[in-house]
Amino acid sequence: MEGETVENFAIQLEQAVEERLGHDSGWLRRDVFVQVVQEYLVEDGTLEDLRVCYFVAPSGRSRMEVAGYYISDDGRVLDLVVANYGNSGHTLPRDQVLKRLRWALNFAAGCKEGYHLQMEESTPEFDMAQTIHTHWPEFGKIRIFLFTDGRTTLTGLPEESLDDIPVVQHIWDIERLRKLALSGRHEEPITVDFEALGGALPCLPVVGSNDDHRCFLAIIPGQLLADMYEQHGAKLLQRNIRAFLQARGKVNKGLNETIKSAPGRFLAYNNGISVTATGVTLTQTGNALTQLQDVQIVNGGQTTASLHHAARRDNADLSTIQVPAKITVVAPELLDELVPKISLYANSQNTINEADFESNSPFHVELERLSRRLWAPAVDGAQHESHWYYERVRGQYQVDRARLVTRSQQKGFDKENPRTQKFTKTDAAKFDMTFQQEPHTVSLGAQKCFHEWTINVVSRRNSLPDEQYFRDLVAKAIFFAQGRKEIMRLNPGAGYLANVTTYTISRLIQEIDVEATLNSIWRAQRLAPEMLRAIGSLSGLVRDRLLHAPGAGNVTEWCKKVDCWKAVQDINWVGI
């Protein structure tokens, strides 16, 4: 795959869009393209998450246009995405690229000025504009991303600002996406240049040598650590999902209090951070770091995020704060082997089962084994059984298929592993949390739902998934997909389809024998007609309850609240 051409990758990207359309109809092709690309960037850590939501309108002699948005968990960063799709690897004119970036900036300006007041309420587009307008005073940075399946030749983008807020622009074209997808790594490496951040970092090299790693002890100034997080964000934490979860959670009150009232004692109170890298540059004396390559913070995510939060949101003085750090420089070829272990032992004091946070954890590995071993019953007169393919690692399905040399072998693979029966970790979380009756958690978005599922469901299991667990999970997937399709059929083009689906199913399962229903779905590989009718009957009532947020509030935000779920539970319905 190293020699994959841009043209071939463009074809694969288009196939991924086609696959998603076939599996999850109801989306426009452009929006599916944005979905596919954002999944790469979320896994990479470039984006925390993204809500796909297309909007276009005139703006003076120009226009405003966006394809999605997200507000960072700390509320400081607004991400906007604009798409240029349908280019199949062809080069885009410079002015076309700059125009689309400008359209997204126009949209941001419109939101600031209250453009949502001119929009139709109770639509996802209204929610997007209203949410951005409401949060505007908190923003410290705006990031605009252009997603395109074409090539760009721009080597630098102009610096922008809006309402004194710096605007950073990023282009993800077909070539950059190809490098990310085929690099064999989820994240693009981060290089930290200490001299550029204020000066070489004094360190103490650990005595002794080892062929596969070197260790250094250092004291990192609190401001420097906050600046590193400001520059790179969650990408610093992506090699360890626990650190990522630490940073995404609420800011630790104890840490925050120490920062504010006793910053000089931070070093005494804090356990410090663990950092990994694959390369290091030292001063001539060997006792100070000038640069680290491929940097990741594998323990201390909450410390890092708390310092950043205090500096940027509370204007805290970090000048007297110091953070102890253990820095391990690992041979690049051993990165995937050693870093998870370093992370594991650095986090061993925590109560959560850390192994369950990663793709190569026993839970996910066993789920993958079950998906390859168990055959789903043949349906619709088919003479061949098939697998439900659990894609534990992004791109795994395509890699397995590409290993087969002949066309007939690939056709056999497709027959046994239909693309419509492929599902991912975030899909599994969505299905399971819906049946855990937590539609408000599903409504948080794919990544946050996955994190909550990991912490509150997966990590609390006392055993690995077995065959019954896998069959039930597949039945939940069928329930969700066919239920969503029925709701969409009854309400073509209506918004909030994902929210209505998860809330409808969560409410419906209060009225049925879940175990018997899941067993029946597995055997038939489809929902019974009476279940589809029940979904149709209930979904209208659910939609009405979701659209009537208290105080004519924001529907998207309302769907994330447990009170919304309580309101849906109060629906008086007996339809099955």
Give yes or no: residues 159 and 12 share one domain: yes
Which residues are 169's β-sheet partners?
A: 144
Residue 132: inside a domain:
yes
294 part of a folded domain: yes
Which pair of structure tokens corresponds to residue 150? 């074409």
* Ranges of the chain whose pLDDT falls below 70: 1-4, 22-26, 182-188, 208-210, 234, 238-253, 335-360, 380-383, 399, 552, 576
3-state secondary structure of 274: strand
268 with 384, same domain: the answer is no
The pLDDT of residue 444: 93
- pLDDT the model gives residue 254: 74
Q: Are residues 466 and 383 in the same domain?
A: yes
Domain count, the chain: 3
Assess whether 479 and 510 both reside in one domain: yes
pLDDT at 344: 59
Residues 344 and 386 in one domain: no
**514-524 vs 467-490: helix axis angle to the nearest 10?**
80
* Inside any domain, residue 1: no
Amino acid at 228: M
Are 485 and 525 part of one and the same domain? yes
> Which of 28, 13, 4 has its CA nearest to residue 497?
28
pLDDT of residue 34: 95
| Residues 307, 373 within the same domain | no
Identify the helix (H) or strand (E) that includes residue 409.
helix 407-416
- Which of the listed residues 149, 182, 215 is the one where a domain comes to its end? 182
Residue 241 exposure: Cα atoms within 13 Å on the Cβ side: 20
Residue 354: per-residue pLDDT: 37
- Indicate the residue among 160, 182, 204 that finishes a domain: 182
pLDDT for res 4: 61
Tell me the pLDDT of the chain averaged across its residues: 86
Collapsing DSSP to helix, strand or coil, 315 comes out as coil
> Residue 411: is it exposed, middle or buried by C-beta count within 10 angstroms (0-12/13-18/19+)?
exposed
Identify the sign of the CA torsion 261, 265, 271, 272: positive
The answer on 317 and 393 residing in a single domain is no
Q: Is the same domain home to 379 and 344?
A: no
pLDDT value of position 525: 95
161-203 pLDDT, tens digit each: 998 999 999 999 999 998 887 654 445 678 999 998 889 999 9
Domain coverage including residue 485: 369-569
Task: Say if residue 20 is in the same domain as residue 145.
Answer: yes
Quick check: is 576 in a domain?
Answer: no
